[in-house]
Amino acid sequence: MAFGSVAPAPSANLVGSSTTGPNASCAPNDHCVPQAGNDGISSLSWGPAVNHLVSTNWDGGVRCWEVQESEGQVRAQPKAQVNHENNSPVLDSCFSSDGSTVFSVGADKAVRMWQLGQSPPNNVPQQIGSHDQPIKSVAFLPSSNLIVSGGWDKMLKFWDARQPNPVGTLQLPERCYDLDVRDSLMVVACAGRHIISYNVQGQPQEHQRKESPLKFQSRCIAAFPDTTGYAVGSIEGRVGIHYVTKVTGKESFAFKCHRQDTNVYPVNCICFHKGYGTFATVGGDGIVNFWDKDNKQRLKGFPAIHRTISCASFNNQGGNLFAYASSYDWSKGSSHHAPGTPNEIWIHCVLDEEIKPKGKKTSYR
């Protein structure tokens, strides 16, 4: 099926790491974050208590900004940066519940901890865990104050930052491509289109194991804010909406997105608005879309920018700020990478009419 009544977003033709779209940002007043790094941007995350924005980069950097917003005007002030050992690519990060600590993972096979406001020795954050292969994703479990990491060694490992060894491990059927935690629900997308959901209230327990509803490789996954299910995105321009808990009147479904004519682009990231339960997708077509899964509507389709969008995130203080990275997503491999192309982070001030559900539709196409 396809969502809604909104006309397709203006398109752009992708050429390597750039598109021919006329815009550098999705909207004219979006704020460009300074000092965004020298290589691909792999993840963006916001602090839970204040508007601290953290990025991870293929140049080995973990960067933090303090973001202020007033009457639609945004200012991002660089605060600090640390680097993984030997500048190994960093693939993901997350905050502790109180926002004081950032955990990061990447190609150095290490789980690292950075206490904001402190400068670690040699500017390399402390290692608190490891995998046998690069680590793709990391999340914080608020119910137990543990850190969970998912690696290409087909393992989930759970860490207490005060102990050198994992406090628990779970075998995955394949490599971890993405994971997300929302309260007691953890969802993991693996190679081979495996998707596993867990109850992480207390000792993690597997809840459900299934094959992705999408026919091609999973690219990203995000749990619903109400923990009743998740959204999964694929390399083939589709999103699957799946419920792990029975909700009256709601059924799982999938829809097409990030497609222009015969061209199909990966869905690189899915992120939910905590207040409204609506969500954003960003893709290899350089487009940001806002969606309402409950009413099966696209709420907003922004014009394509002139570069692929690799990741995005809503802030936790009201969801009024949306950060997205204009950066090569490597979906076409190294041969399409254009060295010297800027990697940028933009912050969009979210209007209520862009992200708030508009009510039930009478029809859709």
Residue 85: is its pLDDT beyond 80?
yes
| CA 280/CA 19 separation, integer angstroms | 20
* Residue of 58 and 361 predicted with greater confidence: 58
Q: pLDDT exceeding 90 applies to what percent of the chain?
A: 82
Residue 251: is its pLDDT beyond 90?
yes
Structure letter (DSSP) for residue 184: T
Range with the lowest mean pLDDT among 3-12, 62-71, 95-104, 230-239? 3-12
Q: Quick one: pLDDT at residue 7?
A: 45
* Residue 130: alpha-carbon gap to chain centroid: 22
191 burial class (0-12, 13-18, 19+ CB within 10 angstroms)? middle
Backbone angles phi, psi at 163, to 5 degrees: -125, 145
Q: What mean pLDDT comes out for the span 205-218?
A: 94
Contact 297, 316 (CB under 8 A): no
pLDDT tens digit sequence for 219-249 = 999 999 999 999 999 999 999 999 999 999 8
pLDDT tens digit sequence for 296-333 = 999 999 999 989 999 999 999 889 999 999 988 777 77
pLDDT tens digit sequence for 272-288 = 999 999 999 999 999 99
User: What's the mean per-residue pLDDT of the chain?
Assistant: 91
| CA 122/CA 140 separation, integer angstroms | 25
Q: Quick one: pLDDT at residue 335?
A: 78
Q: Quick one: pLDDT at residue 3?
A: 53
Q: Quick one: pLDDT at residue 178?
A: 98
Residue 120: is its pLDDT beyond 60?
yes
Residue labelled with tokens 């997503």: 329
Q: What mean pLDDT comes out for the span 125-154?
A: 97
Q: What mean pLDDT comes out for the span 93-117?
A: 97
What residues does 15 pair with on adjacent strands?
A: 18
* Token pair for 60: 């080995």
Amino acid at 297: Q
Structure letter (DSSP) for residue 11: P
The model's confidence at residue 360, banded by pLDDT at 50, 70 and 90, is low
Contact 189, 218 (CB under 8 A): yes
| CA 75/CA 87 separation, integer angstroms | 28
Q: What mean pLDDT comes out for the span 154-162?
A: 96
pLDDT tens digit sequence for 11-58 = 443 333 344 456 899 999 999 999 999 899 999 999 999 999 999 999
pTM, entire model? 0.92
Helix or strand (DSSP H, E) at 349: strand 344-349
Number of H helices, E strands in the chain: 1, 32
Residue labelled with tokens 């609506």: 278
Range with the lowest mean pLDDT among 75-84, 143-152, 335-344? 335-344
Q: Quick one: pLDDT at residue 11?
A: 43
Q: Quick one: pLDDT at residue 336?
A: 77
